[in-house]
Structure 1
């Protein structure tokens, strides 16, 4: 596996406040770990015990919530075996179909009982040895500690460029800034988890919601480890869909851009119309201008259709929201957790 490298102090200082906020002492830690799983049958038998061992170093009071996001492999069977025979404090949630990672994370958060929640992938890419540092920052008063990918060198050039462009667009003119390269590896205080649960969105872009709720946050740089087994299900199509969800959920910049483009095209058309009128008055009509006119009509039609398409994406999000369908549906809930609902008080 690729081992994490130590980022420069400047990288850490870019995200983390210089001094922790003043805070009252935290209550004894009761930790809930949310593990979204999509086709992770090979990884779960090794990862869940490893996660339990790492968390047990922090507190004896913990639970691990496995969320099966409509897997098509043996993830369900493996998870049921772990719940029944591992002896670990597990809770298994099986969604009725594949709703996507954002919904799986929401389902996990909704069913946690601890006074702190860890969101972590089940493929070993999120280093477990970062958990003690997250715990220490939580104890010092931070309400949310999130991992920031310090090195994307293993990713393709297209993905790195696309990620950089995405965050630039998302943060341009937006009052809520999303930290670039921040992922879903997070430690949340109970009040942050409750705030996320209270948000009514059906189409949930979690990275935007993390930033929107605010609270005192700190960042921890890390380099993702190699997957222990299997291949990532996040291909370019899925990443593109997630980026489109984020753009239409947390920024109106595309609408503003096309408003400006429309104004510029209209201005150019007005100037060109004035030039044609002047040319006709001075030199008379010339049929040779018809190709230019046809090309102009095609250009304006294309701009209008693209504008309507972007507007349609936003209207589609509104349509989905007003139907008020739930973000996910549970097909099964196997609760062998040692934490109870009043443990987070």
Structure 2
């Protein structure tokens, strides 16, 4: 049962990470401002420049006086996860915050559906991509990732849900209270809970004609970050596998002992021994690699470095 919200002129923020979007950023921000103004006069667009090397910063600065923009600029590229984190931390006074990309692949008109569900009382409204635009390989890998991650992570991440969503003030507060630096935001959005609602949408092509920046390498890196940030299952699998190998080794050793003692046969099998050594050497290296992933994350957290460094914060000019 949801509690219907009836807030007159709510404070609605939009969190927009930007990285080298000089071609699209002005038209996107103007369209977004028009849409938000239809909902409430108390809107604010939190634009986070993630170390752009083109003219994105200059274009955004020229719009600060025209649109209700809160501009934050990083000292370098810290990544989309850091940009979203900075945007939500700057949205602590919002009744709700909408997170979306500025390349028009997240349709602006879907905001109306987000807002309608928020008014109905839902707190964590997320866009779910209709995957008609994906190749068969990418769809298969995506399906495998969501199935494996939901088994390993202990939280249910909705399939084909990403950053595009609306979070109410409870969700924003809960998200901003999380202390870790190594972040898998899609998992964190699922972990904080609250009343969720999926909104399907069609992914549009980038209006500048370029391909998506989420290549396979970036997606695999994100998948590994999610698994190692959220789950200790890989460590447990190493222990379980080690126990099974020990049982097999003891059984084989007992077999050899009985054969030698009662049948007097010579123990042979040098090829088997060599293959076994090579196999278990590989297993040990893989196990060390898994341990190394966890240790490296502990090392990064122990340094307590900030998630990002702000070079320029134009919010004081509003």
Question: Is the contact made by 1:64 and 1:337 (CA closer than 8 Å) also made in structure 2?
Answer: no
Among candidates 174, 177, 185, match of residue 198 of structure 1: 177
Residue pairs, 1:11-22, within 5 angstroms: 21-22=2-3
The corresponding residue for 1:295 is 275
The corresponding residue for 2:287 is 307
Deviations 1:34-54 (CA, angstroms, capped at 9, x unpaired) = 110112111102111111111
Among candidates 170, 173, 189, match of residue 168 of structure 2: 189
After TM superposition, give the deviation of residue 155 of structure 1 in Å. Answer: 1.9
Task: Provide the secondary structure at the position in 2 that maps to 1:92.
Answer: strand
Residue pairs, 1:143-162, within 5 angstroms: 143-149=123-129, 151-162=130-141
Question: Is the contact made by 2:152 and 2:227 (CA closer than 8 Å) also made in structure 1?
Answer: no
After TM superposition, give the deviation of residue 173 of structure 1 in Å. Answer: 5.5
Distance 1:69 1:239, change over 3 A: same
Question: Is the contact made by 2:13 and 2:43 (CA closer than 8 Å) also made in structure 1?
Answer: yes
Distance 1:336 1:41, change over 3 A: farther
Distance 1:216 1:209, change over 3 A: same
The corresponding residue for 2:258 is 278
Supply the distance in 2 between the matched residues of 1:53 and 1:201 (Cα, whole angstroms).
36
Number of residue pairs the alignment of both structures matches: 315
After TM superposition, give the deviation of residue 269 of structure 1 in Å. Answer: 2.3
The answer on 1:28 being equivalent to 2:9 is yes
Task: Provide the secondary structure at the position in 1 that maps to 2:311.
Answer: strand
Structure 2 unaligned segments of length 5 or more: list them.
Answer: none
Supply the distance in 2 between the matched residues of 1:69 and 1:239 (Cα, whole angstroms).
19
The corresponding residue for 1:56 is 37
Among candidates 185, 188, 191, match of residue 212 of structure 1: 191
RMSD between aligned residues: 1.9
Residue pairs, 1:18-97, within 5 angstroms: 21-23=2-4, 25-26=6-7, 28-84=9-65, 87-97=66-76
Normalised by the length of structure 2, the TM-score is 0.93
Supply the distance in 1 between the matched residues of 2:84 and 2:110 (Cα, whole angstroms).
20
After TM superposition, give the deviation of residue 77 of structure 1 in Å. Answer: 2.3
The corresponding residue for 2:120 is 140
Supply the distance in 1 between the matched residues of 2:299 and 2:56 (Cα, whole angstroms).
33
After TM superposition, the runs of 4+ consecutive aligned structure 1 residues lying more than 6 A away are none
After TM superposition, give the deviation of residue 69 of structure 1 in Å. Answer: 1.0
The corresponding residue for 2:223 is 243
The corresponding residue for 2:201 is 222
After TM superposition, give the deviation of residue 262 of structure 1 in Å. Answer: 2.3
The answer on 1:171 being equivalent to 2:184 is no
Task: Provide the secondary structure at the position in 1 that maps to 2:269.
Answer: helix
After TM superposition, give the deviation of residue 233 of structure 1 in Å. Answer: 2.4
Normalised by the length of structure 1, the TM-score is 0.86
Supply the distance in 1 between the matched residues of 2:98 and 2:233 (Cα, whole angstroms).
32
Among candidates 79, 89, 94, match of residue 114 of structure 1: 94
Structure 1 unaligned segments of length 5 or more: list them.
Answer: 1-19, 339-345
After TM superposition, give the deviation of residue 201 of structure 1 in Å. Answer: 0.9
Supply the distance in 2 between the matched residues of 1:24 and 1:50 (Cα, whole angstroms).
26
Task: Provide the secondary structure at the position in 1 that maps to 2:147.
Answer: helix
After TM superposition, give the deviation of residue 324 of structure 1 in Å. Answer: 1.2
The corresponding residue for 1:7 is none
Supply the distance in 1 between the matched residues of 2:126 and 2:249 (Cα, whole angstroms).
49
Supply the distance in 1 between the matched residues of 2:228 and 2:303 (Cα, whole angstroms).
17
